[in-house]
Amino acid sequence: MQLYYIRHAQSENNAILERNGYKSEEGRHADPQITTMGFEQAKLLAEFLARENPEAEI
C-alpha cells in the first residue's frame, strides 16, 4: 500500500506571500481562491494519481 500526503494547490494567499518575499501578510484573504498555477498543479496531480493508482480509494 502507498500513502500520499497531499496539500492544497497554490492559493492567492500563497502567491501574495511569494510576491512580497514572505515579509508581510498584508492583503491576504480569509477564504482565498486557487490561482491559475494552483489549477495546473491540481490537474497534474490528478493525472499522476490516475497513472499511479487508478483504483485508489479517497
pLDDT, one tens digit per residue, over 3-54 is 888 999 999 999 999 888 888 888 888 999 999 999 999 999 999 988 887 6
Torsion of CA 23, 26, 28, 30, to 10 degrees: 120
Distance of CA 46 to the CA centre of its chain: 12
Q: Please, are residues 44 and 19 in contact by the beta-carbon 8 Å criterion?
A: no
The single-letter code of the amino acid at 46 is: A
Query: If you ran DSSP here, which 8-state letter would residue 50 be given?
Result: H
Query: Whole-prediction pTM value?
Result: 0.75
